Amino acid sequence: MGVIGCGLIAQVMHLHYLRELSDRFEIAAICDLSEPVRTAVGREYGVDRRFASWQDLVAEPLDAVLVLTNGSHAPAAIAAAELGRHVLVEKPMCFSVAEGKAMVDAAARSGVAMMVAYNKRYDPAYQRLLEESRTLRELRLITITTLESPAEPYIRHYNLQRGAPMAPDVAEGFAKDNSARITAAIGDADPLSRWAYHLVLLDSLVHEFNAMRGVLGEPDRLDFADIRESGLTAIFTYGHAQCVLTWVDLPGIARYQMEFAFYSPDRRLTLSFPSPFLRSAPTILSSEGGMPPSSRSWRSEEITSFEESFKQELIHFHECATNGRTPTTSAADSIHDIALCEAVVHVHRNRTPRDHPSEPALTVAR
């Protein structure tokens, strides 16, 4: 396995669990722009092949690559797939539906697995939610609520190696590349929409969109979307049910909260996720019911497992790469999440609903 990008999520989760899964994986090469980070990570995980550019890493004789960099993962993922490497990419897989299609085509031509690391889908408690949600009668409302909080309190206890700030010319090059890819996806949108598309939708809410689709399937309509400097709201229609998604930034409270709640006339289910930076913190599944016409009601809370979802997704990726299994969160399926990100910006700007918003409306990358 070659690891491209050795920053926060690599050091907190992926590298840790790749080593723990040494019966399945060998960390054979690493890549990072920062020389101190490369040195520290290489020493910690016993990796001698260390590169400053992903182009040099993917040229190595590897079975697979894990792409964890900032920005679009399309260039590195496409190059790796074309060289016959299986590919696991962190979110966002890319910046546009067009880029996603190019990634899927590259993997198909080479016959390799390409998977997106939506760790929530591999949480044992999420699997229990799938089971329990099938028992709900006449689903009426779904709410998806994310209360964003500062990350630093959740990662301070890890021994992280942080790189120095990028050189100004390098940082400017990355900023221009990101800007061009955002324009290719949503056009010359206003600054607020561009910020939300990049740093809220692609960086955070793709997780929620993918988990939503994993339970409910594709939405019939995106009825409403509103982007604000401190939050985002989107309302979807699923048959007779309404799904209300809200994201709000609360930087003064170190208490991350992310919940999926399902409401039917006689049953309520709530799945509460911990911070993604805490290893093996359990996800809680709550269930509520009643006994009409009496006043009796009940509530239960279930800890399904202490297994870490990041570890479970790596196990799944290994199965797909070695046994030819199609990933649950394949790149082909994940294009629908990018389409939803594009649709939210479109509905926000035009104030008109969009039918079948997760169906990719291919744009031509400029």
* Overall pTM surpassing 0.85 (yes/no): yes
3-state helix, strand, coil in the chain (%, to 5): 40, 25, 35
Query: pLDDT tens across 167-221, in order?
Result: 899 999 999 999 999 999 999 999 999 999 999 999 999 999 999 999 999 999 9
Q: How many residues does the chain have?
A: 366
- What is the structure's pLDDT at 366? 31
Give the pLDDT of residue 298. 95
Closest C-alpha to 2, from 88, 66, 51: 66
| Domain covering 2-118 assigned CATH 3.40.50.720 in the classification | yes
In DSSP terms, 297 is beta-bridged to: 290
CATH number assigned to the domain with residue range 121-306+331-355, chosen from the 4 options 3.30.360.10, 1.10.150.120, 3.40.1190.20, 3.30.1180.20: 3.30.360.10
* Buried b or exposed e, range 181-216, using 16+ CB within 10 angstroms: bbbbbbeebeeebbebbbebbbebbbbbbbbbbbbb
The band of 361, judged by pLDDT with boundaries at 50, 70 and 90, is: low
pLDDT beyond 50 at 50:
yes
Query: How do residues 290-328 score in pLDDT, each as one tens digit?
Result: 988 899 999 999 999 999 999 999 999 999 999 999 999
Residue 69 has pLDDT above 50, yes or no: yes
**What are the start and end residues of each CATH 3.40.50.720 domain in the chain?**
2-118
Give the percent of the chain with pLDDT over 70: 98
| Exposure on the CB side of residue 104, measured as CA atoms within 13 A | 16
Count Cα atoms within 13 angstroms, Cβ side, for 231: 14
Sorted by sequence, the CB contacts under 8 Å of residue 181 that are 6+ apart come out as: 71, 72, 95, 96, 99, 365
How many CB atoms lie under 10 A from the CB of residue 319?
14
For 100-126, the pLDDT digits (tens) are 999 999 999 999 999 999 999 999 999
Per-residue pLDDT, 158: 94
Count of alpha carbons within 13 angstroms of residue 236, beta-carbon side: 23
Contact 358, 219 (CB under 8 A): yes
Q: What mean pLDDT value characterizes the chain? A: 95
What does the alpha-carbon distance between residue 210 and residue 124 come to, in Å, rounded to a whole number?
Answer: 16
CA atoms of 58 and 86, how far apart (whole Å): 11
Q: Which two tokens stand for residue 29?
A: 């090469």
Q: What is the pLDDT of residues 137-151, one digit of tens each?
A: 999 999 999 999 999
Of 72, 69, 60, 61, the C-alpha closest to 32 is 69
- The residues of the chain that CATH labels 3.30.360.10 are 121-306+331-355
Instruction: Answer yes or no: is pLDDT of 80 > 50.
Output: yes
pLDDT for res 334: 97
